[in-house]
Amino acid sequence: MKCSTKYIIIHTKNEKEILNITDKVEQALLESGIKEGLCLVNSMHITSSVFINDEESGLKKDFLDWLENLAPEKPDYKHHQTGESNADAHLKRTIMGREVVIAVTKGRLDFGPWEQIFYGEFDGKRDKRVLVKIIGE
């Protein structure tokens, strides 16, 4: 069994943004040489997320609007009493999830129709890391 580890550095233009990172993960898979196995992709930060969905600009906007309704930016979170100001970003990350695992079949990510990998940033504009860990043969 082989194992490959790669870190993708992401720096968003906006504080809250959703980026398609499928091509970066596919590149990591190609470089690994692994043909059959599993690919774990996870955010290394507690205010960002990795998830799978459809690549469609309206849907990405819908996600951001939906998350803002569920966990709005507001000053009265208890977390803010510690000197922080990003409680909403922590909550949004919890809703969207930390990681995804994708099967690798014949050297390719084994997606269903329309599936793509996304990085959701909820407290951005600085460098963040995404781990890509691939195990298999």
Nearest Cα neighbor of 102 from 53, 36, 38, 52 is 38
pLDDT for the residue 58: 97
Quickly state the pLDDT bin for 36 (edges 50, 70, 90). Answer: very high
- pTM of the predicted model, to two decimals? 0.96
Domain 2-50+59-75+84-100+115-130 matching CATH 1.10.10.10: the answer reads no
Question: pLDDT digits over 21-34, tens only?
Answer: 999 999 999 999 99
Query: Can you tell me the mean pLDDT for 44-58?
Result: 97
Q: What is the mean pLDDT of residues 74-80?
A: 95
Q: Is 41:117 a contact under the CB 8 Å cutoff? A: yes
All structural domains of the chain with their residue ranges: 2-50+59-75+84-100+115-130
Structure tokens at 41: 């992709």
